[in-house]
Structure 1
Amino acid sequence: MQNAVQKASRLVASILFPDTCLACRTHVAARGTLCPECWGQIHFIADPICTVTGTPFQHDFGDDMVSAEALANPQPWRRARAAVLHDGIARQLVQRLKYGDQPELAPWMARWMLRAGRLLVEECDVVVPVPLHKRRYLARRYNQSAELARMIAAEGGIAFEPAALVRIRPTRRQVGLTAKQRQANVRGAFRVPPGHEIAVCGRSVLLVDDVYTTGATLGAATRALLRGGAAHVDVLTFSRVVPHFAGVTRRPAAY
């Protein structure tokens, strides 16, 4: 009798709230998936990539290759990875998560991040999201990076420490700023608050954000974690801005 009630409840729910594409909201066979048209517009980042920045190469140069970007502009973190290129459907998902009051997108986006950054997740001790300033948090009501980080920590069985890093002053939105302006905008904006050093001291930290653009925000956050005693920091984001990348979509078997 109980099974019959559960089946009936699922049937009613499927009629009232049908499973729809995460992007365009057309009907799909399973919740948390994309329709074939939208799926074809997602550009996953997969090997060959720079071992440091995670930037995709258009040609395979062999194992452990490092990009010119990593050599010319060293970052304070150890490794960075992202699931998809920040364009088209991926950009739309990020904007809806960040500005569209749709935190329910986070679990599905986090699963793609887990596949892209599996090694980073396996080797970290604690997951820390890039924080919002309290004013922006009150306006938005949630931190999209924390929603992603929470899911990644839960799936990986890792400690989740959202209070280990705080944004101590409000910053302008980074959209439209040059690389130098972005760096100046977030310089000194983060710190490990007193009493929370124990969460990161001597530990391998996985820093989570929604988008890697120029690396200015992630760099400032990483420096704060290192000052707070973190042994080293790896970075994992949902999407990555890669200007002028003309590579074809790659779909690893894990996807």
Structure 2
Amino acid sequence: MTKIGKFQTALQWVFPPRCVACGGLVESDFGLCGFCWAQTPFLGGPQCDFCGVPVLAENYDDTLICDDCQLYERPWHAGSAALVYEGVARKLVLALKHGDRQDIARPAARWMAAAAKPLLGGDALVVPVPLHWSRLLKRRYNQAALLGQHMARYLDIPFCPDALVRPKGGGSTEGLSTQERFEKLDGAFEPHRKRGARMAGRHVILVDDVMTSGATLTSAAQACLRADAKEVCVVTLARVAKDA
């Protein structure tokens, strides 16, 4: 065994790998234990082609659109998600977003990469939904950017963390109706004055941690299109379902 191998083995004795959800022992870093894996609501089966939420369908060959995506026109070409926002998935999202658990981004991005593969087109570029500078200063990191960075690495495609900016802080949308969310976030994002040009003519993969109403992603996708993106697809770690 090499010196590096011996050192890694010693580290595992001192700091054994832990489940990113419950902290239990696991075989490798950045994984879920068997119990948490079984309790994590991974998306599968028929899903809405625009957001990834589960839908009832008899024929997978048809375009599948959930009620929300029929009611609110989406400016993006297609979308997907890795998890339903409930149970262990909700716990992981909140820990990443508010608990400084940046280690969760790596396994989460791997799940997102699997969900994103069917959406990839030529000349793709991964772009995260940005935070306003005041919120970024308080949180110290943008969870969407962490997810996008790792996802782009898994997919071996370029990543631009600041193609979009959020010039005005709009405050929380918690407790607002869907219509109020759309009104509050209308025009909230803009292409970066310089790096926004990287989106021109490209297939933009817009990344965020959670999709609820779709208001945030709608505003961000519209900003991508104003920068002359060829088309936009969205990928989120989790999608809020009506019965979640």
Q: TM-score range by the shorter chain?
A: over 0.9
Aligned counterpart, 1:51: 49
Report the counterpart of residue 201 of structure 1 in structure 2. 200
Equivalent residue number for residue 74 of structure 1: 73
The residue type paired with residue 195 of structure 1 is: K
Alpha-carbon separation, structure 2, partners of 1:50 and 1:35? 29
Deviation at 1:36, TM superposition (A): 1.8
Query: Aligned pairs, how many?
Result: 243
- For 1:137, the equivalent position in structure 2 comes to 136
Bigger shift: residues 4-13 or 15-24: 4-13
Gaps of 5+ in 2: none
Amino acid of the residue matched to residue 7 of structure 2? Answer: S
Give the superposition deviation at 1:61.
3.0
**Inter-partner Cα distance in structure 1 for 2:20 and 2:140:** 21
Which one-letter code corresponds to 1:67 in the other structure? I
The residue aligned with 1:249 is none
- The question of 1:37 aligning with 2:52 is answered no
- Distance apart, 1:14 and its partner CA: 1.0
Per the normalisation by structure 1, the TM-score is 0.89
Cα distance change of structure 1 residues 185 and 47 upon mapping to structure 2, 3 Å threshold:
same
C-alpha separation in 2, matches of 1:197 and 1:214: 25
Cα deviations by residue, 1:193-236 (Å, 9 ceiling, x for unpaired):
22234211111100000001110000010111111211111000
The alignment's TM-score, normalised by the length of structure 2, stands at 0.93
Cα distance, 1:60 vs structure 2: 3.3
Paired position in structure 1 for 2:8: 10
The residue that corresponds to 1:241 in the other structure is: 240
Higher mean C-alpha deviation, range 63-72 or range 175-184 = 63-72
Worse-matched range after superposition: 65-74 or 210-219: 65-74
Query: What letter matches 1:15 in structure 2?
Result: W
1:207/1:234 contact within 8 Å kept: yes
Counterpart Cα distance in 1 of 2:2 and 2:60 = 56
Q: Residue type of the partner of 2:213?
A: T
Deviates more, 1:57-66 or 1:173-182: 57-66
State the percentage of identical aligned residues.
37
Aligned counterpart, 1:118: 117
CA apart distance, 1:4 = 4.5
| Secondary structure of the structure 1 residue equivalent to 2:127 | strand
**Ranges in structure 1 where 5+ consecutive residues have no aligned partner:** 246-255
Deviations 1:80-99 (A, max 9, x none): 10001000111111111111
Per the alignment, do residues 159 and 62 of structure 1 end up closer, same or farther by CA in structure 2, a change over 3 Å counting? Answer: closer
1:225 is paired with a residue whose SS is helix
The answer to whether the Cα contact below 8 Å between 2:21 and 2:36 also exists between their aligned partners in 1 is: yes
Q: How far did residue 163 of structure 1 move?
A: 1.6
Aligned partners of 2:123 and 2:91: how far apart in 1?
A: 29
Distance 2:203 2:155 in 1: 14
Instruction: Name the amino acid aligned to 1:12.
Output: A
CA deviation after TM superposition for structure 1 residue 55, in Å: 2.2
Q: CA deviation at 1:122?
A: 5.0
Residues 119-139 of structure 1 deviation map (CA, whole Å, 9 limit, x = unaligned): 223545211000000111111
